[in-house]
């Protein structure tokens, strides 16, 4: 047989007084008088037939049974407020906010996004391009706040560069990456031969100083060591705080950039850049799709994630531009 519940106002009064351990503070929070709080609590005790507070001269204490009940009520009211907030916001099931680094958003995602929009016109996509680190020292709750923080428009999905260890998040591999030097055809054909990586000593080196690229070992020292080249001064050249700037500088002929061919795939395909060498070094990090645990059940998130992985699979299967420049100039 169902049992009747006490009045909701008396339960709210009890939850606030138990949490604050003060009738006066509870009254201020609920915008009533302390006398009203006392009246509600006395009525609740009579209704339940139990003592909830030990009242002193200057403070109140919870009885053991009240301590247990207070925690459950706190969680219950929290759930009620969250449910009401969802109702207040209305139906946003077809609204999808995506967060990605500017380099990935501009160079890889944007040229493909029209295909997702064409396939799912019912989903309203909002793209937030912000710089966020995925380094080990920035793991955990900062990354969780990164997805849910209001300054990022409460993103539903984030695409992040990291090693795959994202605590408390649903993380799915999107793209494994390689790094390689890239140069504009104009500079390559006008300068000295680039028959092998050792010839880089004749060219200005462009550096991407993005924090998470450095942490992923995407730098000239690591690449040259991996291909067995020594004696090149990697301290020279122009430094950039953004991958897009470094790639665009290479397109303009400022020097040779070490970056991710996946990010510059459009520029490589259009002939604005070329790969002078066959050597490509796997990056320690990759791109991952992140969302809150359980959020993948949302149809919009599920559709977007499936589409991203489909695009990444197709990209990986397409033969990458060959490195032929060195052979032409030997």
- Mean pLDDT, rounded, for 109-114: 94
pLDDT above 70: residue 176: yes
Same fold, 95-175+287-316 and 176-283+318-328: yes
pLDDT above 90: residue 249: yes
44: left (phi over 0), alpha (psi -120 to 50) or beta: alpha
* Distance, CA of 140 to CA of 256 (rounded, Å): 36
Domains in the chain: boundaries: 8-89, 95-175+287-316, 176-283+318-328
Q: Would the CA dihedral through 299, 303, 304, 306 be positive or negative?
A: positive
- Mean pLDDT, rounded, for 65-70: 90
Q: Which residue has the higher pLDDT, 37 or 150?
A: 37
Question: pLDDT over 90 for what percent of the chain?
Answer: 43
Question: Domain 95-175+287-316 belongs to what topology?
Answer: D-Maltodextrin-Binding Protein; domain 2 (3.40.190)
pLDDT above 50: residue 137: no
Reported as a pLDDT band with limits 50, 70 and 90, residue 85 is low
pLDDT above 70: residue 107: yes
Tell the burial category of 19 from Cβ atoms under 10 Å away from its Cβ (0-12, 13-18, 19+): middle
* Distance, CA of 208 to CA of 106 (rounded, Å): 16
Architecture of domain 8-89: Orthogonal Bundle (1.10)
Task: Give the mean pLDDT of the chain.
Answer: 83
> In CATH, what class is 176-283+318-328?
alpha beta
- Mean pLDDT, rounded, for 241-264: 92
Beta-carbon contacts of 81 under 8 Å, excluding residues fewer than 6 positions away, are none
Model-wide pTM > 0.75:
no
In the 8-state DSSP scheme, what is residue 50?
S
Reported as a pLDDT band with limits 50, 70 and 90, residue 125 is very high
């Amino acid at each position: 047989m169902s049992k009747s519940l006490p009045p909701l106002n008396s339960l709210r009064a009890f939850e606030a007084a138990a949490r604050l351990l003060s009738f006066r503070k509870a009254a201020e929070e609920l915008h009533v008088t302390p006398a009203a709080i006392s009246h509600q609590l006395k009525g609740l005790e009579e209704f339940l037939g139990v003592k909830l507070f030990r009242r002193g001269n200057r403070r109140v204490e919870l009885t053991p049974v009240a301590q247990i009940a207070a925690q459950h009520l706190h969680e219950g009211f929290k759930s009620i407020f969250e449910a009401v907030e969802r109702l207040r916001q209305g139906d946003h099931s077809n609204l999808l906010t995506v967060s990605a680094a500017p380099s990935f958003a501009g160079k890889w995602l944007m040229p493909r996004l029209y295909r997702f929009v064409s396939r799912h016109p019912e989903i309203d996509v909002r793209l937030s391009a912000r710089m966020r680190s995925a380094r080990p020292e920035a793991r955990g709750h900062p990354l969780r706040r990164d997805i849910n923080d209001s300054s990022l428009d409460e993103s539903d999905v984030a695409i992040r560069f990291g090693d795959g260890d994202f605590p408390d998040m649903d993380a799915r591999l999107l793209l494994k990456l390689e790094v390689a030097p890239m140069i504009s055809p104009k500079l390559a054909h006008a300068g000295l031969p680039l028959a092998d990586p050792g010839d880089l000593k004749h060219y200005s080196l462009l550096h991407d100083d993005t924090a998470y690229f450095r942490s992923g070992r995407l730098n000239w020292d690591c690449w040259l060591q991996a291909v067995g080249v020594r004696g090149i001064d990697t301290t020279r050249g122009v430094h950039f705080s953004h991958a897009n700037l470094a790639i665009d500088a290479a397109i303009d002929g400022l020097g040779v950039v070490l970056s991710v061919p996946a990010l510059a795939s459009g520029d490589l395909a259009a002939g604005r850049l070329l790969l002078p060498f066959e050597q490509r070094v796997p990056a320690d990090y990759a791109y991952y799709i992140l969302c809150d645990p359980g959020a993948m059940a949302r149809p919009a998130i599920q559709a977007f994630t499936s589409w991203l992985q489909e695009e990444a699979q197709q990209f990986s299967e397409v033969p990458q531009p060959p490195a032929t420049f060195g052979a032409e100039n030997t």
